[in-house]
Structure 1
């Protein structure tokens, strides 16, 4: 389908605005680089200039391209990518991300089995250079990466696009209002939208996706399988840390750090040997969290330096990527962050699958259906403010039967949701 005048006009205005904002992209990279030095490297990839970078074996057959913006999307895509690598060993696999943490996780999981670069900014020239270099025969985009020039560029080159594990909250739908005329046209170029829920599918259609292209396949995060070494990890952890109660604060944001610290100090007055496992959401918060704990007089070890918590440690900071699920397996209660701040919440399925009760704040709009299901099953409790976080944790830590009941309900819900991977592969005909 050739672009009409309205599309050309909208694309032109959008692209002109992006080019005008080029200095802002550089400022953003520098600003992020002060907190996370990895943002200061590989700038050429963000504008699709690859220089002498050697692509993977050009004799390999048609390219499969998967885009997973950051760590969470990489986790959701992991089972899919592993399946594709086994099913199509002769095909070239390119995986893109946007964040350095996503990049690190991609390379840790697959190394040189795939080729990885950053997805370039949504500038027409950069998008064209990326697509012409890698020539994907299929684009598989995770969750909600709706970049107009990228989608139009794929259509113009005859590259079918599928949006997998697609989610679109009511808030995000409202956020697209300004660009709705352009985004709706771009969405109509997508050949398949594999939505997590019926509500997500309805919102994608409202935004502009063709109804016949949208199918509900479920959440790929349900299909994450247990690690083979999970039991051995638990035993090793207990041997070093001792067999005591443990709670975990997962994927926290800056404004949640003080409530977590205050809750832990209060809880240790009742249980002096209670251990806190703490995994900040972003790497730039690893060191500040360690410093904050130690300044509060709490003996603190870290995953990167000490590997395991010791018997005398009051806190243990998980300052590595991709290991959080293992630590859910040694915890008695999980607080999942991004929920006391108005972020929208983070992955609730990992602690549910580990069979431990979950506590969150009230801001869960990114995981509305999963949160509602976990609450209805009795697997999760929501606190309305940071002041009562410690109260809820106190109740759960003091009631082993309640913890067992909630954990069992969460695990059952997680297991009942599996099958999204098979439905996705069928829907996209991979």
Structure 2
């Protein structure tokens, strides 16, 4: 209890800094500026009770939760659905996927009065936290109000486990408020137990991202785009790139162009606020470029196409010969390798994939993905694959087999949810 009081005091002391951060983010995103009171629990009550609440911090977690949210809508059509996020990009993805069919609000900061206001207004009968978010005051408030709390698609990297070590007593107390932890893998389950979770409450259900729906028209749209820019043209994609990676990707593309002068790079930065900066960098390096927002699709004359749009990657993956998944050349920990794998597209990753270590390892071991040791190896690896159609076909088939083999996590999680709701 003393640890949580100290934690709460620290949260109150940093509140002025949180407000400054909100104001700074509001400069970049005016809709976020208008909604920052939600971070303190101030919003119009939706006027319902008995809701099913899903928290997904940002885009990756929202994508992971998509099949689960759809299953909840199917199996509990009369229960209001509440979805919370933390980032503007996560919010945009919720609106894109679900529109007004769910009630969206930003998750409040972990301050007791903000958390209390939030729970009083959405009145959930079940709380589902996606992946790794552990908020002591929120968790204790749910237990105090008798709201069953479940962490779904739970993952915990070795790096996060080390970072949590000084707070282990506080987090152990929070995790004991959780009814069930549905872990992605045995490794994740073991780490949650090391962090202090009750071993009997930790189960392995698999990764829900394997259950993500593939947009029905993605393959057809990808084929149409290839017809527009040239069906025999070599095309590779760099997806979810971060600051410090785009330059490496563009240098790799220069190496590719020396051997394959008609090659096309599809470049998709991770964060919308960086779209314009990345486009400027592409043009300043002398590439002929186009963007999704202006040209729609690249023409045969374009060397680089910047995908400056959210939630539209699947058709471009389908149109690519191979995909490099970003966040892996810099210490971000990598991003979702399953989207290209689901479409039988070979995958390249950098050395930093600790956020998706088991999925990435599985793809590499099965031959569906390859790891490049550093940025200097990216260009030669891309070129080698673009020149070897037979290897690309083998890798694509292997990636798709891994994707299909691992499906079913949502069904397992739904059985656990059904049990909790029946109790």
Q: TM-score, normalised by structure 2?
A: 0.96
Counterpart of 2:121 in structure 1 is: 133
Aligned to 2:19: 26
Shift of 1:241: 2.0
Q: How far is 1:151 from its partner?
A: 0.3
In the aligned structure 2, how far is the partner of 1:113 from the partner of 1:186? 31
- The answer as to whether partners of 1:36 and 1:283 remain within 8 angstroms in 2 is no
Give 1:225 deviation, angstroms: 2.4
Q: Partner of 2:267 in structure 1?
A: 278
| Equivalenced residues, count | 418
Task: State the Cα deviation string for residues 97-151 of structure 1 (Å, max 9, x = none).
Answer: 0000000110111111111000000011100100111110000110000000010
Q: Distance in 1 between matches of 2:65 and 2:402?
A: 20
**Preserved CA contact (<8 Å) 2:23 2:33:** yes
Partner of 1:64: 52
* Corresponding position of 1:365: 354
Corresponding residue to 1:200 among 176, 188, 192? 188
Quote the Cα distance in structure 1 between the aligned partners of 2:36 and 2:338: 34
Give yes or no for contact 1:357–1:403 (8 Å, CA) kept in 2: yes
Change (3 A) 1:26 1:307: same
Quote how far apart the aligned CAs of 1:380 are.
1.3
Aligned ranges 1:306-317 → 2 under 5 Å: 306-317=295-306
Q: Whole-Å Cα distance in 2 between the matches of residues 336 and 113 of structure 1?
A: 31
CA contact (8 A) 2:129 2:152 kept: yes
* Structure-2 separation of matches of 1:150 and 1:317: 40
The answer to whether 1:108 aligns with 2:96 is yes
- 1:3 is matched with none
Report the Cα distance in structure 2 between the residues aligned to 1:264 and 1:91, rounded to whole angstroms.
Answer: 50
Q: How far is 1:31 from its partner?
A: 3.2
TM-score of the two chains, using structure 1 as the length reference: 0.95
Bigger mean CA offset, 230-239 vs 63-72:
230-239
Q: Hey, what's the Cα distance between the residues in 2 that align with 1:105 and 1:375?
A: 29
Contact between 2:39 and 2:109, CA under 8 Å: does it hold in 1? yes
Question: Are the counterparts in 2 of residues 240 and 310 from structure 1 also a CA contact under 8 Å?
Answer: yes
Match of 2:109 in 1: 121
The separation in 1 between residues aligned to 2:26 and 2:227, in whole angstroms, is 38
CA distance in 2, matches of 1:328, 1:132: 43
2:382 pairs with 1:389? no
Q: SS where residue 343 of structure 1 aligns?
A: coil
Deviation of 1:353 after TM superposition, in Å, equals 1.2
After TM superposition, give the deviation of residue 34 of structure 1 in Å.
4.3
Mapping of 1:319-334 within 5 angstroms? 319-334=308-323
Superposition deviation, residue 265 in structure 1:
1.6
Aligned runs of 1:176-325 on 2, under 5 Å?
176-243=164-231, 244-325=233-314
Equivalent pair of 2:218/2:314 in contact (CA under 8 Å): no
Q: Residue 217 of structure 1 contacts residue 424 of structure 1 at CA under 8 Å; is this kept in 2?
A: yes
8 A contact 1:246–1:274 mirrored in 2:
yes
Does residue 47 in structure 1 map to residue 40 in structure 2?
Answer: yes
Q: For structure 1, which segment, 287-296 or 190-199, has the greater mean C-alpha deviation from structure 2 after superposition? A: 287-296
Do 2:289 and 2:305's aligned partners in 1 also have CA atoms closer than 8 Å?
A: yes
Residues 291 and 307, structure 2, Cα contact 8 Å, conserved in 1: yes
Q: Quick one: distance in 2 between partners of 1:33 and 1:268?
A: 40
Residue matched to 2:83:
95
Aligned to 1:402: 391
User: Which blocks of at least 5 consecutive residues in structure 1 are unaligned?
Assistant: 1-6
**How far 1:310 sits from its partner (Å)?**
1.6
Q: 1:36 to 1:184 in 2, by over 3 A?
A: same
The unaligned stretches of length 5 or more in structure 2 are none
Superposed CA offset, 1:19-52 (max 9, x none): 00011112222333444444433111011111xx
**Would you say the 8 A contact 1:192–1:428 is kept in 2?**
no
Query: Per the alignment, in what secondary structure is the counterpart of residue 341 of structure 1?
Result: coil
2:6 paired with 1:17: no
Q: Of residues 331, 334, 351 in structure 2, which corresponds to 1:342? A: 331
CA distance in 2, matches of 1:231, 1:222: 18
1:175 is the counterpart of 2:163? yes
Using the alignment, how far apart are the partners of 2:263 and 2:30 within structure 1? Answer: 34
Residue 333 of structure 1 and its aligned partner are, at CA, apart by 1.0
User: Could you list the per-position Cα deviations for residues 274-332 of structure 1 after superposition, in whole angstroms to 9, with x for gaps in the alignment?
Assistant: 11111111111111111111112212111122221222211111111111122111110
What is the CA deviation profile of residues 247-291 of structure 1, one whole-angstrom value per residue up to 9, with x for unaligned ones? 000111111111101111221121111111111111111111111
Q: Distance in 2 between matches of 1:113 and 1:36?
A: 24
Q: Which runs of 4+ in 1 moved over 6 A?
A: none
Give 1:215 deviation, angstroms.
0.5
